[in-house]
Amino acid sequence: MPLIRVQCPECGSSGSIEQEKVHRTHGKIKCPNCSMVFTISPDETNPTPQPDAPDAATSDPGEAMHPHEMEARESADATDSSENDTPPPLILTETAIYSTDTPAINKLTFHGNGGTLFGIQFVNFLLGIITLGFYRFWGKARVRKYLYSQLELMDARFTYFGTGKELFIGWLKGMGIIIFGYLVINLLQYSLVNVLKGVHMAFMGVFYVAFLALLGFAKVGCARYRLSRSSWRGIRLSFRGTFREGIWLHVWGNLAVLLTLGMFYPFLQTRLRAYWFNNSNYGNTPFSYDGKGKDLFMPFLFAVLLALLTFGITFFWFMARLERYHWEHTKFPGMTFKSTVTGGALFHLIVGNILLFIFTIGIATPWVVTRTMNFRCKYLAFNGLPAFEKISQDAKAAQAAGEGVADYLDIDGGIFDFGII
């Protein structure tokens, strides 16, 4: 019997329903995931032949069903639905829903606003005072939940599952790592001073390398934790990169930039991007990145020369080009990405955010955040359509220790960093 694909507009769950039953209930469907009742037009859907699908009249409703060929079944009061003005909804046996009329080009939409975010952060501030600062972890989780819930793609919102308790425990672990590193560095410093003379420069080099290693650890930890607590359409994201690879890349890559007086910068950027994206998954399906630093070297060199004459202003145009290049070389099975950001737009965003922050003494920070979110969504497009029926849950556990270290280093990647969007 022909099936059609539908999507819950509230939670984004997706799956298949028999076309005949959609007609019988006048297109009314009830999502089993969020219980929302919504209506679709059977005449506008594209039926997908399913010769092996079991007949609803003979199948056992209690029987386990294949997740990609699930049947719809009528609710108990659907017997006389054809005679009622308001027919009862269909009830799906699975919680996956996807719409066939999704366009080939999709854009992110951010529905949040600075006023609401300000209210959340103001309450967080008051509770932080009452709890002597301990509520800040729960407050940070609240802010993330709000920002994720306001981000929409293909009529489905993102979800953040992290908790304040996890962030607090991660902060405690991060404090232990910071203290241990501090003791080791100081012990090394005193040992070198007692054994050798004039080793100040050597020690500074060791300190710089240790800082880069800590930075790499924090960023990898953030990526692993943040993505493991993020989902879209009920499917979790994950980051599979190892700490060893991430730390090594941050150490030698930044040292190479230093030793080449900055000329290695475009090569480091593409290698970092490849590390983040090639190790990022949506469910069981990985992203990929194939950018090369050599493609960006001449634009980078030209931008550096012009920056000397324009006090660095023209470097915004290189950063915009870097952003466009990164997304052009990022792929997901069935999808490509395109950024249309320009140097002028990036300049106005950053300068505007700085002025907002300065002239309001930081009070406008929520508006700076929402302004940036809207900017990123405006200039990023998703081309094509993933094969959602081939994507399954494959979540990976991750702890928040890296988040704790990042908190000490004042690193907060936000939604758009560390791999996905």
Same domain, 241 and 289: yes
Report the half-sphere exposure of 271 (CA within 13 A, side-chain side): 18
CA torsion, ordered 403, 405, 410, 413, to nearest 10 deg: -30
Same domain, 115 and 20: no
Q: pLDDT truncated to tens, each residue of the chain (421 aa)?
A: 566 666 666 655 556 666 666 677 767 777 665 566 777 654 444 444 444 444 433 444 444 444 444 444 444 444 444 444 443 344 433 334 444 444 568 899 999 999 999 999 999 999 999 999 999 999 999 999 999 999 999 889 999 999 999 999 888 888 888 888 778 777 776 766 555 555 666 667 777 888 899 889 989 988 899 999 999 998 999 999 999 999 999 999 999 999 999 999 999 999 999 999 999 999 999 999 999 999 999 999 999 999 888 888 989 999 999 999 999 999 999 899 999 999 999 999 999 999 999 999 999 999 999 999 999 999 999 998 888 878 887 766 666 555 556 555 555 555 445 433 3
Same domain, 55 and 202: no
Same domain, 239 and 337: yes
In the listed set 64, 92, 120, which residue is the last one of a domain according to the structure?
92
In the listed set 66, 92, 118, which residue is the last one of a domain according to the structure?
92
Same domain, 71 and 111: no
Return the sign of the alpha-carbon dihedral for residues 117, 119, 122, 124.
negative
The answer to whether residue 143 is domain-embedded is: yes
Biggest CA–CA distance in the chain, Å, is 96
Same domain, 70 and 113: no
The answer to whether residue 235 is domain-embedded is: yes
The answer to whether residue 32 is domain-embedded is: yes
Closest residue by Cα to residue 382 from 342, 417, 326, 335: 335
The answer to whether residue 223 is domain-embedded is: yes
Rg of the chain over Cα atoms, rounded to whole angstroms, equals: 26
Tell me which residue range forms the domain holding 282.
107-408
Predicted local confidence at residue 7, as pLDDT = 67
The answer to whether residue 419 is domain-embedded is: no
Ramachandran quadrant class, 150 (left: phi over 0; alpha: psi -120 to 50; beta: rest): alpha
Specify burial of residue 257 (Cβ count, 10 A radius: 0-12, 13-18, 19+): middle
Query: Coil, helix or strand for 122?
Result: helix
Could you identify the residue written with the tokens 């951010």? 110
The answer to whether residue 101 is domain-embedded is: no
In the listed set 92, 127, 160, which residue is the last one of a domain according to the structure?
92
Report the half-sphere exposure of 136 (CA within 13 A, side-chain side): 8
Predicted local confidence at residue 56, as pLDDT = 39
Predicted local confidence at residue 182, as pLDDT = 78
Same domain, 228 and 184: yes
Residue pair 170/400 in contact (Cβ under 8 Å)? The answer is yes
Residue 172: both structure tokens together = 């405690």
To which H or E segment does residue 3 belong? strand 3-7
Same domain, 262 and 371: yes
Closest residue by Cα to residue 227 from 418, 46, 392: 418
Closest residue by Cα to residue 397 from 161, 88, 211: 161
Residue 269 to residue 283: CA distance in whole angstroms: 26
Same domain, 208 and 88: no
**Residue 209 CB neighbours (<10 A):** 14
Decide: pTM greater than 0.85: no
Calculate the alpha carbon distances from 25 to 6, 29, 37 in Å: 15, 8, 12
Residue pair 71/93 in contact (Cβ under 8 Å)? The answer is yes
Any alpha helices (H) in 105-199, and if so which ranges?
114-130, 136-149, 164-195
The answer to whether residue 154 is domain-embedded is: yes
Could you identify the residue written with the tokens 């993102």? 158
Calculate the alpha carbon distances from 30 to 16, 73, 270 in Å: 13, 10, 46
The answer to whether residue 420 is domain-embedded is: no
Calculate the alpha carbon distances from 206 to 89, 186, 220, 259, 357 in Å: 67, 11, 21, 15, 36
**Residue 319 CB neighbours (<10 A):** 15
Predicted local confidence at residue 263, as pLDDT = 95
Same domain, 62 and 124: no
Residue 75: both structure tokens together = 């609710």
Predicted local confidence at residue 256, as pLDDT = 96
Q: In total, how many domains does the chain have?
A: 2
What is the CA angle 35-38-42, rounded to 5?
Answer: 135
CA torsion, ordered 357, 362, 363, 366, to nearest 10 deg: 70
Same domain, 309 and 240: yes
CA torsion, ordered 307, 311, 314, 319, to nearest 10 deg: 80
Q: Which amino acid is at 31?
A: C
Same domain, 146 and 50: no
CA torsion, ordered 303, 308, 309, 310, to nearest 10 deg: 70
Specify burial of residue 41 (Cβ count, 10 A radius: 0-12, 13-18, 19+): exposed
